[in-house]
Structures are given as C-alpha cells and as structure tokens.
Amino acid sequence: MQTLAGKKILLGISGGIAAYKCAELTRRLIERGAQVQVVMTNAAKEFITPLTMQAVSGRPVSDSLLDPAAEASMGHIELAKWADLVLLAPATADLIARMSTGMGNDLLTTLVLATDSPIAVSPAMNQQMYRNIATQENIATLERRGMHIWGPAAGEQACGDVGPGRMLEPMQLVERCEQFFGDKPLKGKSVLITAGPTREAIDPVRYISNHSSGKMGFALAQAATQLGASVTLVSGPVSLATPTNVDRIDVDSAQSMFECVMDNATTHDIFIACAAVADYRPQTIAEQKIKKTDDSDQMTITMVKNPDIVASVAALKKSRPFTVGFAAETQDVEHYARTKLEKKNLDMICANDVSVEGQGFNSNDNAITVYWKDGKQSLTLASKQQIAAQILLSIAEKIEA
C-alpha cells in the first residue's frame, strides 16, 4: 500500500552501528511510495557505504558540504527545500549535541539549519551516553524547538549493555512516518492550555509560588499544534520559549490566570488545566516591602482561597469545552484523582506522583495515569513531549467517541 506516495524524505545518517539498518529503512520507505534522499556524515560511511545507500535509494548520496559540483548550484539549500520530512536516523549523541548548539560544520547539520521542513530525530547510542545529563538536555532543547523525537527503544546493545538507546527498528520508523503524514486527529480543533506556576504577591518584592517549571504544559501546547490544533497557551512565569505556532498569553497570579481563561474558554473546543495554580493568596498585599522587626520572631499572613479555574470551566453551561485537569499528588494518587474528576465535573484528569524522583516538577520526564469516568490509561515514564502526545491522542479519541 502506497501510504507515503509522493512524500519526500531526507534521511540523514550519522556514525553509529545502527546505520546498518538504514538500507532496510530506505527500502521499506520506498515500498510505500516515498522518495528518499540520503545524506551521510563522514562517520556514517565507516558503518555503511554510500554505494549501498545509493543502490537502495536509487539516488546519489550526498555527503560533502564542500562538493564543488553540488555547491555550484547551492546544492545544500536545494536539498533543504526539497524535503517534506527530514529524518535523522541514527542520530548519535554527537549529532544531537551539534544540532543543539546550532552548528553547521558538515552537510547534514547545515541542512538542519537551512530547512523549514519538520525534523524527526531517532536517537541511537550507548545507554550511559543517552542517560548523560548533557544528552538529555540536548534532546530537550531539540524538542522545545519543535523537532519530533522518535525513540529510543530499550534493550541489548551492540556493546553488550542493556538499557535505553537503541534506534527504533526500520518498520517502527516507517510507521512513525505514516502517522506523521496521516490525518491530524485534532485538525480544526482549538485548544486552550494553562501552564507553569502562579505567583501570589505578599508585598512588592515577595511572593508565594511553587516548583512548577511549565515544561508539561508547554509540551502539550507543542504536541497539540503538531496534531493539527490551533493553540492558546496561558502561562505563568516560566523561562521557556514559546512553541512554534502557539498563541501565548503571559499572566502572573491565579486571579489573572482565572480571568484570562474565563475570557477564552468558550471559544475553544478543549481546555487543559496543566498549570500549578496556587490554592490560596494573601488577603492583602502590602504596599511597601514588609520589614523584619526585632521584637517578633513570627509573621502572620491571612490567606484566602483562589478561584478554582478548572472547576469553573467545567461548570460552564454554554459552549463548555472538553475539560481536562491535572493532579500532582504525593500519595493515594488514584483516589485523589478520581475524587477531583467527579467533584469538579471533569471529562478527564491526568495524575502523577510528584514525590517520585525524576518525574514531575522541573524534570524533562514524566509518568502519568489518565482517568475518565469509566476507565484509565497508564503512560509509563517518558519525555514530557512523548507523554503530551499520548495525552492528546487520548483526548482526541474521547472527543470522536
């Protein structure tokens, strides 16, 4: 079946042992109707030859940024414009690091900089290299820039180690390409998302807040656009770049977030309350900085309850969006999540245990269980971008049901 008929895929191969799988990958892509242009790094040619890739692709392999014949016609720019999708497989730790810093010191990294086509990255490396904080931060950077991260898989590696870092198998990558070019399940839908913390002022220089980084909400916004939705992101104070094609509104306090959400909720099909909103705020805000006094070791601040944003949206009688909440818990996760689901009249709630190290607040990874009235779905530990895509696919299924 020609599921990729007419699609132009630029396959970028870097220097890892998984490069040997690229001949099979290319053949399978072409079987499904794709045109495949191969670009190789010098290191990649140590694992599989350009002649092999030329034979299976039916096209000359490009491997040099300084090829006079190609560059006479600005060949690297033409390649960058040609592709419907740039697929980097295998993407080694070195290639990922160079892309993260914006280098263009060979043909492949130059193409990555020069293209406005979507880019998919399939990591492949030793498990310890993959787990290294530098690699994790580099991958997170690419994800924030809108690149798709496909994999890695876990299992036995060529070096004998066992763990994450294996490139996805050729047919798995073919399936990802088919999904990428397939129907967008949220096409025509509008999504309103809240993200990050709120800050509740005590005086002009102090505030009460929490540890939310906003990464999960921003990942949801990015994934929603990739699935075809138009997205409005209402964000508390965070240090994150706005995802491509997302309309961002910055707010500070819970009250300002509440007002912004209520102004926009009825014009959206889906509302996802991912922000870590403060439950309470100081009853009064001091006009001047509160000074420490020598005659008292204590300070009392009277707190009042903030409006419940997600419950207020769920209570709308007219033009109510499909409403999804988040529950960050430290114990009895399912009990508290289902209680909130029912009490707040939500369509779905995503719950995670933030007491577990390596997931939740300030982490690049998360593990979530999605609950709805008569079911649930467990999403095991993965990058927040991967978790976000799975959450949105689950929402799309419920909307279509």
pLDDT tens across 151-192, in order?
888 777 777 787 888 999 999 899 889 888 887 889 899 999
Range 341-360 average pLDDT: 86
Measured at the alpha carbon of residue 178, what is the angle toward residues 348 and 146, in degrees to the nearest 5? 65
Q: What percent of the chain has pLDDT over 90?
A: 66
Question: What letter would DSSP give residue 243?
Answer: P
Q: What is the pLDDT of residue 36?
A: 96
Per-residue pLDDT at 369 exceeds 70: yes
Question: What letter would DSSP give residue 341?
Answer: H
CB within 8 Å of 109: residues ≥ 6 apart: 95, 98, 99, 103
Range 113-133 average pLDDT: 93
Instruction: Specify binding-site residues.
Output: 279, 289, 307-310, 326, 340, 344
Range 52-71 average pLDDT: 82
Q: What is the pLDDT of residue 401?
A: 61
Residue span(s) of the chain under CATH 3.40.50.10300 come to 190-400
The angle that helices 215-226 and 133-144 make with each other, rounded to 10 degrees, is 50
For 224, how many CA atoms within 13 A lie in the half-sphere containing its CB? 27
Q: Give the count of beta carbons closer than 10 Å to the beta carbon of residue 87.
A: 27
pLDDT band at 73 (very low <50, low <70, confident <90, very high): very low
> What is the Rg, in whole angstroms, of the alpha carbon atoms belonging to the chain?
24
Per-residue pLDDT at 255 exceeds 80: yes
Higher per-residue pLDDT: 238 or 386: 238
Task: Return the CATH architecture of domain 8-181.
Answer: 3-Layer(aba) Sandwich (3.40)
Active site residues: 159
For domain 190-400, give the CATH superfamily: CoaB-like (3.40.50.10300)
Range 221-225 average pLDDT: 90
DSSP three-state, residue 162: strand
Q: What is the pLDDT of residue 94?
A: 97
DSSP three-state, residue 323: strand
**Peptide bond preceding 321: is omega within 30 degrees of 0, i.e. cis?**
no
Q: What percent of the chain has pLDDT over 70?
A: 96
Q: What is the pLDDT of residue 69?
A: 56
Q: What is the pLDDT of residue 1?
A: 61
Instruction: Specify binding-site residues for CTP.
Output: 279, 289, 307-310, 326, 340, 344
Per-residue pLDDT at 86 exceeds 80: yes
Alpha-carbon gap, residue 142 to 268, rounded angstroms: 29
Range from 57-66, 122-131, 255-264 that averages highest in pLDDT: 255-264
Per-residue pLDDT at 27 exceeds 60: yes
Q: What is the pLDDT of residue 362?
A: 64
Q: What is the pLDDT of residue 353?
A: 82
Phi and psi at 309, nearest 5°, equal -65, -50
pLDDT band at 97 (very low <50, low <70, confident <90, very high): very high
Alpha-carbon gap, residue 307 to 280, rounded angstroms: 9
Across the chain, mean pLDDT equals 90
Q: How far is CA 369 from the centre of its chain?
A: 17
Range 3-11 average pLDDT: 92
Greatest extent of the chain over all pairs of C-alpha atoms, in Å: 85
Nearest to 260 by CA among 287, 298, 230, 232: 232
Per-residue pLDDT at 123 exceeds 70: yes
Range 348-372 average pLDDT: 82
Among 244-253, 257-266, 304-313, the range scoring the smallest mean pLDDT is 244-253
Higher per-residue pLDDT: 124 or 331: 124
Range 294-320 average pLDDT: 92
pLDDT band at 40 (very low <50, low <70, confident <90, very high): very high
Residue span(s) of the chain under CATH 3.40.50.1950 come to 8-181
Alpha-carbon gap, residue 321 to 148, rounded angstroms: 28
